[in-house]
Amino acid sequence: MKMRRILEKAYHTLLACTGISSNQLKTDRDRQTDILCGVVGCDASVLIASKPGNTSGLAEKDAHDNKNLPVEAFDSIKKAKALVENKCPGVVSCADILAIAARDFVHLAGGPYYQVGKGRWDGRISMASRVSFNLPRANSSVDELLKLFGSKGLNLEDLVALSGAHTIGFAHCEHFVSRLYDYRGTKKPDPYIEPRFLKALQMSCPPFGGNVDVVAPFDVTTPFSFDHAYYGNLQAKMGLLATDQALFLDPRTRPIVVELGKDKQRFFQAFSAAMEKMGSIGVKRGRKHGEIRKDCSVHS
Ligand code: HEM
Ligand SMILES: [Ca+2]
């Protein structure tokens, strides 16, 4: 679909590297999306492929929580990397390409275009066993989310603004089906789901034996457009995951949901700022801690 345009854009941005020394690049700072930075930071460790027959365990991308990362995403990063290697070999890390691709994707979907600082190096370690405790879960409490985000230097407003990424995209039934039929062991649906929305979700996701490939949009109003409609939905009890809806139910995050729901520019500004912070989590610099991979799926 839009992958080609994303690639072209990533490529044109990166072409600038021919005119910039790697030293200059290294002084910049940065940003990006969810899965990309969750585990050990923005070091492209998620792109590493597991080695067949490897005794030391699977790579991050093969962790259960990452099983739905789309093949197309890995392919487009691979293509962007090939184009860039062609022009300036050994200069641009996979981690930077990932950060830029994330920004371009957001922008192509109608979201903000923010500057992405460069100079990340790629990580030397990628382990599936590190994934689960570093990623938020669809049924985490706001306390747990704040703790996890806080441990990465992200605050209350960052949590709410970054969750706004769920203004686009889809989730598989497994992540919210318990809300539809058995909310916290009550054998009843979650009371904080708008009744018509609940019916529609129940039609897509039966309690047992449903098709595991079925997905529902995070933002029922504008699933393909990067806008602030997500926050309006939360106020109308139309959040998809328990974690989405919880942002409106918790008195600490509710005022931020209301504020960002009122004003798209305010959301874009908060999102860009939070992406900048997230994009600099656990960034590796230099040969001691990092590498510049030639092939993003293989350690160099
Ligand atoms: C706050 C805690 C968060 C939780 C609990 C969470 C959870 C999830 C879950 C369960 C899915 C669906 C996966 C699937 O079924 O395939 C998902 C998808 C997604 N998440 Fe998050 N997420 C969180 C934060 C974020 C952040 C911070 C971002 C980016 C800044 C983000 C961006 C996305 C996007 C774009 C998708 C859609 C992917 C697609 O359509 O294929 N999420 N998230
Ligand atoms: Ca939307």
Q: Does residue 240 sit within a domain?
A: yes
pLDDT in tens, 162-171: 999 999 999 9
Q: Report whether pLDDT(2) > 90.
A: no
Count of domains observed in the chain: 2
Q: How far is the CA of 119 from the centre of ligand 1 (A)?
A: 26
Residue 186: inside a domain: yes
User: Rounded to whole angstroms, how far apart are CA atoms 276 and 278?
Assistant: 6
Instruction: Specify the pLDDT at position 39.
Output: 45
Answer whether residue 96 is part of any domain. Answer: yes
pLDDT of residue 28: 28
Burial-class residue 48 by CB neighbours within 10 Å (0-12, 13-18, 19+).
Answer: buried
Task: Output the domain CATH number for residue 119.
Answer: 1.10.520.10
22 and 124 in a single domain? The answer is yes
- Whole-number Å distance between alpha carbons of 123 and 120: 9
Let me know whether 10 and 63 are in one domain: yes
Residue 217 has pLDDT above 70, yes or no: yes
Q: What is the pLDDT of residues 86-138, one digit of tens each?
A: 888 999 999 999 888 889 889 999 999 999 989 999 999 999 888 887 888 99
Nearest ligand 1 atom, CA 140: 5
pLDDT number for residue 282:
84
Which pLDDT score, from 0 to 100, does residue 260 have?
98
Instruction: Give residue 229's domain range.
Output: 154-277
Output the pLDDT for position 12: 46
Q: Are 116 and 42 in contact (CB under 8 A)?
A: no
The predicted pLDDT at position 129 comes to 86
Residues 175 and 121 in one domain: no
Whether the predicted pLDDT of 35 surpasses 80: no
Q: How much is the average pLDDT of 257-268?
A: 98
Ligand 2 ion local residues (Cβ < 5 A):
167, 219, 222, 225, 227, 229
Query: pLDDT, tens digit, for every residue of 187-216?
Result: 999 999 999 999 999 999 999 999 999 999
pLDDT of residue 19 exceeding 70? no
Task: Tell me, yes or no, whether 299 lies in a domain.
Answer: no
List, chain by chain if needed, residues with CB within 6 Å of any ligand 1 atom: 33-34, 68, 136-138, 140, 145, 162-163, 165-166, 168-172, 175, 241, 243
296 inside domain: no
Question: What's residue 75's pLDDT?
Answer: 86
Contacts (Cβ under 8 Å, ≥6 apart) of 88: 17, 18
Q: What is the pLDDT of residue 135?
A: 83
How many angstroms separate the Cα of 13 from the Cα of each of 8, 10, 23, 221?
9, 5, 18, 32
Identify whether 143 is part of a domain: no
114 and 203 in a single domain? The answer is: no
